[in-house]
Amino acid sequence: MKFIKSLILCGLGVAALSLTSCNDYLDVNTDPNTPSSESTPYELRLAHIEFYTNHAQQFANWRNTFICGDWTRATSNGGTYYNMSIWYPTASITTTPYQWWFVGAYANVPDMYNKAIAAGNYHYAGVAQIIRAYGMMMMADLYGEMPMLAVEQENPLPAYNTGKEIYLACFEWLNEGIKLLEENPTLPAGMPALSVGDYWNNGDVSKWIKLGYLLKARWMVKLTKKQTGSYLEGKYDPTEILAALDKAMQSNADNTVIYHTDDNGTTHDNLGWDEPVDYSPLFSVCGMNAGYMATKMLEDNLTNFGGYGVEDPRADRILPWAYSGISENTPADLKWDGNWRRTKGVDMSSNIQSDGGPVRASWGTVAGKANSREGFWIDSNNENRLGDTIYVEETSDCKGYFANPQIVYHRQAGKSASRESGSFYTRVNSPSFVGTFAECCFIRAEVLFNQGNKAGAFEAYQKGIRASMEQMNVFLKRWCDNEPGDLKSIPSFRVITEEEITNFLNNGIGTAGDLTLGHIMTQKRLAMHHSMENWNDMRRYDYDSNIFFNWSRPARQAFVANALQAIPAGKTFRRWQQCSHELNYNSKELQAIGERVPGAVMVDAEGNEQAWNKALDVWTIPVWWDSNQE
């Protein structure tokens, strides 16, 4: 794809993107005013690649969170993400992850790999292959098929590869990357250290190796619908999954976690958003925006998991809070500490969205109402909506980009009574979790449970829950210790105590005797909140509500004609439609791959050839690993 390569060369002015000041890196170019592929050193490409790869992944994660049913948006805000939450997908969701991966990241990967190999710097070459596999597997998970070698071919109209071909190629790259790192733990003197360009793992080769093995396990476990055999042949391979986990993260100290900042540095992205590279991608798509609300499914799974009646300590940190009083009409189960009240979840199985709700609360004095006081209120003539103040959005704030004094959002500047806490995962300096020990534990628990080893599965399940809470505490403590505004007084920021963790593990998650796959998979999705792996899991277990507690198809979807055309009754959300770039500019090759895609309808009722990827219900065609196709 020459157009991709030409675009990325326009962006090499930020080739040294990092979460610290790295602008001086460009001074080593032959011509810093017109940097080129040939003049840019391979070590300066890595931070650029990491930035756009992570953003592509996190943007996809956020969008797929709505498919899974954990979040929705106020009807009054509406838009793309509201539509996704009611299972009404539109083409507006499909471009950004594709563009940020191919244009921002992947166009740099082959050059970095080739130059690093030529120089004998196997650290950069190994990391290049791991990231290449990571990004292309994301494309296969989202779109099913993709022109896999487009950049290397420099072909503006490349042929497509099937999901299986991409899957197997990703393992070749991943295994090569791991091997390069394992066989070369140190570099010859004088070579650029991996730490020069690496802000995911700060040059720690052992962490990259562990991440590589986690990705192996993550991708192998997706093949639960395949016959048992070698993963290198596209089959389900539980022995290799467990072997990979033995070499992946063994504690939170091994995690790959990106630490974002609130600095508003001078380097901005160059793909059209023009936002600082410092802050969290989830802040960009959610935290800085209005109207995003938790669902009742998420609230119920956090407050009464499995019906054990013990609240998960993570509930206070994930569910948003508002500084507010309560009234005599407030639901009895609304949590309030005397100053702060926690959101209720929007019931997606009810008719609330058909009745115009939920409505985003306003703040201030109610217009035209005598003796009203400042506070949260609903600006609506629909009496059924006047109680929607119980829903608190997850908006947060920042000191750098918005020049506000705190990361706690103020609905009215300077009014402390108008504060909202935001949510753990979507603040300006919330982390990006690329790979964690918690995920390792839950994959192990799933495999062992399916092998009949409930005792081993329960041990891994417990460890995964604890690891999730302890990793969350790292950032809760940072906020409380370093951010202004007495955050310790806000329930959303308080560090989880050991007593809370122990009580939940002892009383709130069940026992080895009553352990089910549903316990494991539902706790996994809570530990991996805002991760595309949750959607991958829901697809491979066919949206089974026995496995994903409290899940149901959004009720509103049945009343929206276009939504039912996209995902008809009896079908489920299985893939993304290809983005407009492929539909418009590579339609011939896209049409051709349909002959190899199970479920793609190539001929309409009159016998005329049909552009299968433009079919209204293309969203329901399973990707390769989600099928029983060989």
Q: What is the mean pLDDT of the chain?
A: 91
Confidence of residue 604 (pLDDT cuts 50, 70, 90): low
pLDDT at 19 over 70: no
pLDDT of res. 307: 97
What does each C-alpha distance from 175 to 283, 527, 626 come to in angstroms? 33, 27, 23
Confidence of residue 605 (pLDDT cuts 50, 70, 90): low
User: Which H, E and C letters describe 516-568, residue by residue?
Assistant: CHHHHHHHHHHHCCCCHHHHHHHHHCCCCCCCCCCCCCCHHHHHCHHHHHHCC
Mean pLDDT of 581-601: 89
| Helix-helix angle 454-482:437-450, to 10 degrees | 160
pLDDT tens digits, residue range 272-281? 677 778 889 9
pLDDT of res. 149: 72
Q: Collapsing DSSP states into helix, strand and coil, what is residue 96? A: helix
pLDDT at 61 over 80: yes
pLDDT of res. 465: 99
Q: Residue written as tokens 């170019």?
A: 29
Q: Residue written as tokens 């609905």?
A: 411
What does each C-alpha distance from 470 to 177, 466, 498, 533 come to in angstroms? 30, 6, 9, 21
pLDDT at 137 over 90: yes
pLDDT of res. 370: 64
Mean pLDDT of 615-622: 94
pLDDT at 27 over 60: no
Q: Where is pLDDT greater, at 162 or 274?
A: 162
pLDDT of res. 284: 92
User: Is the pTM higher than 0.85?
Assistant: yes
**Strand ranges (DSSP E) for 281-378?**
292-294, 321-323, 340-342, 362-364, 375-377
* C-beta separation of 559 from 351 below 8 A: no
Contacts of residue 83, defined as CB under 8 A and 6 or more positions apart, other chains included, come to: 89, 90, 563
Confidence of residue 150 (pLDDT cuts 50, 70, 90): low
pLDDT of res. 159: 92
Instruction: Out of 48-62, 246-260, 319-333, 473-487, pick the least confident.
Output: 319-333
* C-beta separation of 345 from 296 below 8 A: yes
* C-beta separation of 625 from 540 below 8 A: yes
pLDDT of res. 153: 65
pLDDT at 37 over 50: yes
* Euclidean distance between CA atoms 553 and 351, whole angstroms: 13
Confidence of residue 148 (pLDDT cuts 50, 70, 90): confident
Q: Residue written as tokens 């992570």?
A: 54
pLDDT at 384 over 50: yes
Burial class of 241 by CB neighbour count within 10 A (0 to 12, 13 to 18, 19+): buried
What the chain holds in terms of domains, given with CATH numbers, is 2-248 (1.25.40.390), 250-552 (no CATH), 564-626 (no CATH)
Instruction: Out of 68-82, 169-183, 362-376, pick the least confident.
Output: 362-376
pLDDT of res. 157: 84
Mean pLDDT of 153-170: 89
pLDDT of res. 371: 66
What does each C-alpha distance from 502 to 88, 193, 475, 508 come to in angstroms? 41, 42, 20, 10
What does each C-alpha distance from 556 to 21, 350, 351, 448 come to in angstroms? 47, 8, 7, 38
pLDDT of res. 413: 92
* Cβ atoms within 10 Å, residue 330: 16
Query: Percent of the chain beyond pLDDT 90?
Result: 81
Mean pLDDT of 179-202: 96
Instruction: Out of 53-67, 325-339, 350-364, 406-420, pick the least confident.
Output: 325-339
Mean pLDDT of 504-527: 98
pLDDT of res. 274: 76
* Euclidean distance between CA atoms 244 and 242, whole angstroms: 5
Mean pLDDT of 419-425: 98
pLDDT at 357 over 80: yes
pLDDT at 302 over 70: yes
Cα atoms found within 13 Å of the Cα of residue 590, Cβ hemisphere only: 20
Mean pLDDT of 351-380: 88
Phi, psi (degrees; rounded to nearest 5) at 181: -75, -40
Instruction: Out of 121-130, 303-312, 578-587, pick the least confident.
Output: 578-587
Phi, psi (degrees; rounded to nearest 5) at 119: -85, -10
